[in-house]
Chains A and B, each alone.
Chain A
């Protein structure tokens, strides 16, 4: 009886994941805007059903929790197979592959911002600026100093961290909303500076940034007769998975606990001996590092970056991914990235209403799930510790 249950659980998990996976493919494939309308209706129906048939949904949720290792393993396999499966199902798979890579890059940046804003409560509204620092650093070093990607990408991350220190050390004493406003101003300053600095190309930016060449393997080469984007896909996938692992481990530890305490009640944290300024600085360094990495990969992949790539709009997109997807929840951030990057792409079909519908989507999420689509979950350090209870 026990064995049958475990197989059944895994079956449910696999079924749900496969349904979502292939639905996303269909979403890519269908050109007309009807797929979007159908998707929204379907989501509404699912939401309604989840309230009506609470028990069934809880059962599904439990299957995922009990078999989280298997669920993760399956998702990773599906993601690895994605380029080849999509080639079979979606005629425009190259375009959607690029969009997916962009989604992953934004997810990496959003994970960095989530560590700052979601976990620690440091509201950084200039994430695009640090994304830009990473992109420009990598682009400039590759273009003018011929540094290989294996150096430029980490250096992009480090540069973003250093810039973060330069910005935040002077303004640490500022309270909540003023801090956020100052970071907003920094975002503007960054774009203005880029437009006026000639050594980074001014308004024309950097072009002809060399593609990635990792240990002799040129990323411009298309593997297995697909397209050279596939190389970037796997690179970004690996970095995304590493980022997810890192943030998951940090969350499930003293680090996550201390940062949450700083977010929710800073004086109480101080009263427990936490030197809050030092901890906030660490989240800045770490979060910014990932923002910079995202930018660096983007620079190499697209080969051309310019100031309009790093404006406030992008910063708002990243913070929306964090807040709407679910702050302090890495799965929420991932889901948020998918929704907020993919849906506008589909909305290109009806360009006039695009921004309006995008706004409508955000309002709907704020009404029905104000804490984000997948909100903060209680910290359970290890299933063993919880079980022993």
Chain B
């Protein structure tokens, strides 16, 4: 069956002065798949996310989403085309309520602006009610408890719930591509297991979406993803299923170093 590519990159290069954070990166994301990206610290994974979401403008190369060239565009220009992301450090606004933090995810799909806020409150409340129902529906999937905490400050919730709020924020606009940046960062084993369940729930909730995950936790990658890219020093060194990639010698070297053979161990 012909797999449709929804995002692909052409020789992406990201230079910071003399340092190549990304070099010759060619990645394809197919529709509906769950794609993973692994690599040691500093290999350029988050940089890659930042490039395809517009937070960094690549110094070379291009990337295309649904056939459209998006290189050099600002984040808001890119996200409105159907992407959403979460952040390694789980960026939610602690002082705002759970509902507020999720509603902001609908920013580019909701209709009312200044005029309605001032003069047409009925239309405004109807819209808020509609998206509030959506938010409740999403929260129920992850943690039904949260439904009672819609108007509680997010800062008072435990870390895993804040993550869930962030994921709900990324899902509420029904994006075509969701980018999850190290969603298990800062979690213990139990929480990571809950997270893997959560990702499964995201998948069953949004059947037409594509999910792209950066992860350090190999268990998550192994369980959840269908295909994996491995990055090292800003370049793609392997691609395939998790089993293939984890057995790839370049990947092993990237994580563990070159294997010494007995002759060289006691080099003079």
Contact = CB atoms under 8 A, between A and B. Distances in A.
Specify whether A and B are partners: yes
Interface of A: 246, 249-250, 252-255, 257-258, 260-261, 264-265, 267-276, 282, 376, 378-382, 384-386, 389
A246 B75 CA distance: 30
A277 to B, nearest CB: 9
B96 A273 contact: no
A249 B117 contact: yes
A57 to B, nearest CB: 20
Q: Which of A269, A273, A381, A385 has the most CB of B within 10 A?
A: A273
B93 A261 contact: yes
A379 B97 contact: yes
Contacts of B132: 385
Q: Which of A258, A268, A274 has the most CB of B within 10 A?
A: A268
6 contacts: A249-B118, A255-B114, A269-B104, A275-B76, A379-B100, A389-B148
Contact of B104 (A272, A275, A378, A381): A272
A378 B100 CA distance: 9
A376 B105 CA distance: 22
Nearest to B93: A264
Interface in B147-196: 147-148, 150-153, 169, 173
Given A260-B95, A267-B55, A270-B74, 11 more contacts: A253-B124, A261-B96, A265-B92, A270-B76, A271-B53, A271-B55, A273-B107, A273-B173, A382-B128, A386-B151, A389-B150
A118 to B, nearest CB: 12
What does DSSP make chain A's interface, helix, strand, loop or mixed? Answer: helix
B91 interface: yes
A362 B36 CA distance: 54
B129 A385 contact: yes
A349 to B, nearest CB: 40
Nearest to A384: B125
A262 to B, nearest CB: 10
B112 interface: yes
A273 B76 contact: yes
B55 A264 contact: no
B30 interface: no
Interface stretch (B15-23, B78-86, B209-217, B241-249): B78-86
A272 B104 CA distance: 7
A254 B95 contact: no
A269 B103 CA distance: 11
Q: Which of A272, A274, A378, A385 has the most CB of B within 10 A?
A: A272
Contact of A378 (B129, B151, B173): B151
Given A254-B112, A379-B100, A385-B128, A264 B118 contact: no
Contacts of B105: 272
B91 A274 contact: no
| 6 residue pairs, one from A and one from B, having the closest CB atoms | A253-B117, A273-B108, A264-B93, A268-B91, A270-B75, A273-B79
A83 to B, nearest CB: 30
A273 B117 contact: no
A260 B79 contact: no
B143 interface: no
Contacts of A264: 93-96
A380 B112 CA distance: 17
A282 B116 CA distance: 16
Contacts of A274: 76, 104, 107
Contacts of A376: 95
B258 interface: no
B233 interface: no
A381 B107 CA distance: 16
Nearest to A246: B118
B125 A382 contact: yes
B100 A257 contact: yes
Nearest to A251: B117
B117 A258 contact: no
B110 interface: yes
A268 B95 contact: no
A252 B153 CA distance: 16
A330 to B, nearest CB: 15
